[in-house]
Structure 1
């Protein structure tokens, strides 16, 4: 298959899936609106790195292993779902801080706990739906004859696409008009993000026994 056609097929599936709201989207929005632009962009880097790693693992045969060993799929889903639920509970139970009632600045952000890059990376890596996504994406166009340079290019474009999309989301959500509007609601933003993570984690656990199709 021609390289251009392969790229078109892969990214015609990946780009719409990337833009659908999910745990990665919630993570970037939460960081941007509660911790500012810098944290939002750092979370974007973590999410993009996670998606790039999943793309690489899928091309190396991870999706095939998950199809062959369904217990491994179950384990990944249970661990991922439990982590997202734990993260959601942590956000819901977090107490409002004094700086929740002032516009978040990068200086304030730097003093807050947590590593936004690691946060974004872990949210992505504990979302087993990403595995299924890449398994379906690459199964449509990638074969044993696909050259290595093309697979490397696809991984790079996955990372670039995620960086561009979530950077746009981060810059918008941390912009002055948005931040001004939600100045006094940062604690509730944390809670809404927590509820979203719990709902997504619960759905993942509910689907844990569903097999991954080859």
Structure 2
């Protein structure tokens, strides 16, 4: 009965999740800089962050946030500050010692929990995701659709997001891909830092429509 609505939701989500943004940048950075496990846990964190948006959309809190400039700006500045913090840390990446061979270079370590929280916070604090899910649950999804069905959509959205970014993590954590980026060394970290700082500034300048 709700298949047409579900496929519409799935298509819109696919188009949204495939467009590069903070989630994509952070998963790529973790996958290349730390490795596959960190990238996958970051991807799972991004996917679970979707539950934050789904929950407040179902409760109607997203509507309150969208109507309150104060709440929207608080969320926006918090998210922007987080992206700027990660970005500036990446910009400070230092070159490897000249007398250190590739095999002797220290490997970055990231606990699964830290990687997961990085992805979760990046997605959960994104006010653009707030507006996306608000429009999804108020415009695309019929308000008369049972809450249980809407919750099912939310589970799918979280799962699909996790799968997508796990694939991204697996792609960018391949040895050949990592080796290619590793040759650029600290310049890759700095480039990703520029991207994250740029996304943070863009987010900070976002206006509520």
Decide: shared fold, TM above 0.5: yes
Does structure 1 conserve the Cα–Cα contact (< 8 Å) formed by 2:96 and 2:185?
A: no
TM-score (ref. length: structure 1): 0.86
Q: Where does residue 41 of structure 1 map in the other structure?
A: 40
C-alpha deviation, 1:75, in angstroms: 1.3
Q: Where does residue 175 of structure 1 map in the other structure?
A: 174
Does structure 2 conserve the Cα–Cα contact (< 8 Å) formed by 1:9 and 1:140?
A: no
Q: Where does residue 15 of structure 2 map in the other structure?
A: 16
C-alpha deviation, 1:182, in angstroms: 2.1
Q: How does 1:106-117 map to 2 (within 5 A)?
A: 108-110=107-109, 115-117=114-116
Structure 1 residues 175 and 66, CA gap change in structure 2 (3 angstroms):
same
Whole-angstrom distance in 2 between the partners of 1:4 and 1:101: 56
> For residues 12-47 of structure 1, what are the alpha-carbon distances to aligned partners after superposition, in whole Å with 9 as ceiling and x for unaligned?
211100010000000110000011111100101111
Whole-angstrom distance in 1 between the partners of 2:168 and 2:116: 16
SS at match of 2:123: helix
Q: Which runs of 4+ in 1 moved over 4 A?
A: 107-114
Q: How many residues align?
A: 207
Once the two structures are overlaid, the 10-residue window that deviates more, 33-42 or 186-195, is 186-195
Q: Where does residue 119 of structure 1 map in the other structure?
A: 118
Q: Where does residue 54 of structure 1 map in the other structure?
A: 53
Whole-angstrom distance in 1 between the partners of 2:118 and 2:144: 37
2:200 is the counterpart of 1:198: no
Whole-angstrom distance in 2 between the partners of 1:166 and 1:113: 15
Which ranges of structure 2 fall in alignment gaps of 5 or more residues?
none
> For residues 107-162 of structure 1, what are the alpha-carbon distances to aligned partners after superposition, in whole Å with 9 as ceiling and x for unaligned?
94547798111111111122211111111222223343211221121111111111
Whole-angstrom distance in 2 between the partners of 1:129 and 1:205: 11
Whole-angstrom distance in 2 between the partners of 1:170 and 1:195: 20
Whole-angstrom distance in 1 between the partners of 2:199 and 2:110: 29
SS at match of 1:200: helix
Q: Where does residue 4 of structure 1 map in the other structure?
A: 3
Structure 1 residues 8 and 109, CA gap change in structure 2 (3 angstroms):
same
Does structure 2 conserve the Cα–Cα contact (< 8 Å) formed by 1:10 and 1:140?
A: no
Cα RMSD after superposing both structures:
2.6
2:102 is the counterpart of 1:102: yes
Q: Where does residue 211 of structure 1 map in the other structure?
A: 208
